[in-house]
Structure 1
Amino acid sequence: MKLIRQHFEKDKSGSTTLIPQDKEDLWELYNLIQKGDEITLSTHRNIKKATLGSGVAQGKDKGKTERKLLTLKMSVEDIEYTPSEEVLRIRGKTVEPNEYVPMQSYHTAEVQLQKQFTLYKDEWDEIAYGIVVKVCSIEEKAEVGAIVMEEGVAHLCLITDNMTVLRNKIEKSIPRKRRGDGGGSKHDQAMEKFYQLVNTTMLRNFDLDKLKAIILASPGFVAANLLKHVLAEAVKNNDKTVMQNKSKFIVVHSSTGYLQGLEESLKDPSIQRQLSTTKFAKEASVFETFQKVLNEDDDRAWYGPTECARAVEMGAVKYLMIADALFRSDDIGVRKHYIALADAVKNNGGETLVFLSLHESGEQLNQLTGIAVLLNYPVPDLDEEDD
């Protein structure tokens, strides 16, 4: 989601102007827009030509219509979302004058991808405001961090499913390495300071716990040397965050230290496989533990919609594993049910992992009804029918 502008009053009323960029943005908007809100958006309408002209021309064209792009402001009365069609429809009455449509007339219009709209609320509560912050934050949506670099230049980026955002650029003059220079040459000293600056900037811009992978790309050995520096500094400073996430770092070769070098690296099939393995390492590890516990049959591992819902209700879930097909179901009721389960798990200190059906562990989860839980403690008889 792209935030264009927003304005809020002291009484918490106000507006925000947004551009949805993918179908998940439409789902978030479905949860954000409520009956009684007002929305301004563009829509096409068939307008009778008789209302456009006068005199002879009016009589000649009477009854004919012309399709025009209008901007309507409506009071929302109904919201309909169809994930499979990537369509969010708003039905309501116009609340501002328009020369082509009467006031208080009913219309249905669509919130479309890559099209701007403005939403007005009498009160923006924490939940509504939180949705906007979440969907507009690259930090919340990014799964991969990347540093593409060469001697003296580094570009720090965050990558989502459909965009790469440059967060920071570092440039530092590096003296040429001269023949016969020892280990303490000006070149080596400058490179050490450069690596230190890149490391500091990375830790300030990347949330290593949230990111599933961090790509270090460069020509030559620059990226590999940066990783050595990062890990050495983590040991020196007892930085547990870096050490716990060191397996997420992937060193790759690129022909340049500029952004086209990152694009080139991401297209390499071997890098895509390695990135996939790293991105889903936690899911695979948790699912492996789940299978082991399930085989031990000690009542800490369960699968199935009813059994998992009961475990969530008891607050016993350490990990809730959901296949993406359930979490992004076309059935709004199903989708809301599983999102409510995920929220309940989070509120009780557990964690929800969404498994992609295209990944191996996701395929295995789908064979077990698409939902499973690993519990904090044994809970017997979750599969028994209630009396």
Structure 2
Amino acid sequence: MTTARNGSAAVPRGIALGGARLVLPGGVVEDGRLVVEGSRIVALGGASAPGDLDLAGRTVVPGFVDLHVHGGGGASYASGVAEEALKAARTHLEHGTTTTVASTVTGEIDEICRQAAVLSELVEDGVLAGIHFEGPFISHHRCGAHRPDLLRDPDPALVRKLVDAARGHARMVTLAPELPGGLESVRMLADLGVIAAVGHTDADYGRTLEAVEAGATVATHLFNAMPGIQHRAPGPIVALLEDERVTVELINDGVHLHPSVLDLAYGSAGAERVALITDAMGAAGMGDGLYPLGPLQVRVENGVARLVEGGSIAGSTLTLDVAFKRSVTVNGLSLNQAVQSLSTVPARLLGLADTTGSLEAGKNADLVVLDSDTFDLVAVMRRGEWIVGADRLTKAHAA
């Protein structure tokens, strides 16, 4: 095995991982072998030769893809400070998220544009995969942890201003389609190739269907910040679940949704239409305390984030390794179903399925190594570079 340098980190070249359980698109392979050359996976399948690292007792899954995350490690993407954004991305990377779309929060339009300019540079540097604008084009009635006085109707000109500020790196905009300009903005976003997401909305069933017909393809954290299901007024949840064109975001942290509600969503949409997200704010990877979320203050107690003023749930402290573990051990998803929702589906939605989201030859070597019994995270590799856990593998499982 040879090594090369990438910054200050040694990057393995021509490394073979043997003896692992591999979760592949076609199924699970026991005692499998995966070979990485440079930043790519070059071969995988059943073991035909010993590997450089023996991963017996380990499960290898593709790196996680988070469509919706506001921060972590005590840092926020809405700060407009590159160092904070780097810290947030690194925190989630160390928990297995190898592809991150950075989410903003409601603020003054010009301030969000400034944040977008900073985040765009990190997309161009390969740190982030894009920008998600959550707010200010959302409902006052369902604003959650967004400052009400800064909310705006989704005037297409204002929506376009944010998209343009991202310099081609806007991936998604969450908006309430019932507001003036909502449907027009959905159509415009679809024409621009930017995902239009329905969320923080008070729309009824009919208006939600109109939004989907106009081009909306994502439900922002389904069930949260929208009307519940009523037997004579099904609301947006039913409309978003029943349409095969819509990918639904779910937050599997044990706080935002009861496990039975996740089961309901999977039973209706199937794993091929669910993207598990964190919606994490700066406290992810940290302890309890006070944290900023855009212009608002959040208090975290026992890992639950709530606004200091009003007490609304304010994002999460979730990381996707925890979401994976909960999905398998609490919700009873198969390994393939969990991989679909944490990697394959969001990668496909972002147009990145050719490079990441599954363990296949030719794709980026974005890997998460888990303990096969507990599903706790052991190691993370991004584009052929070990991020965390390499010492545990080489010391305990060297061939």
Same fold (TM over 0.5): no
TM-score under structure 2 length normalisation: 0.25
Structure showing greater relative contact order (alpha-carbon pairs closer than 8 Å, 6 or more residues apart): 2
Higher helix share: 1
Larger Rg: 1
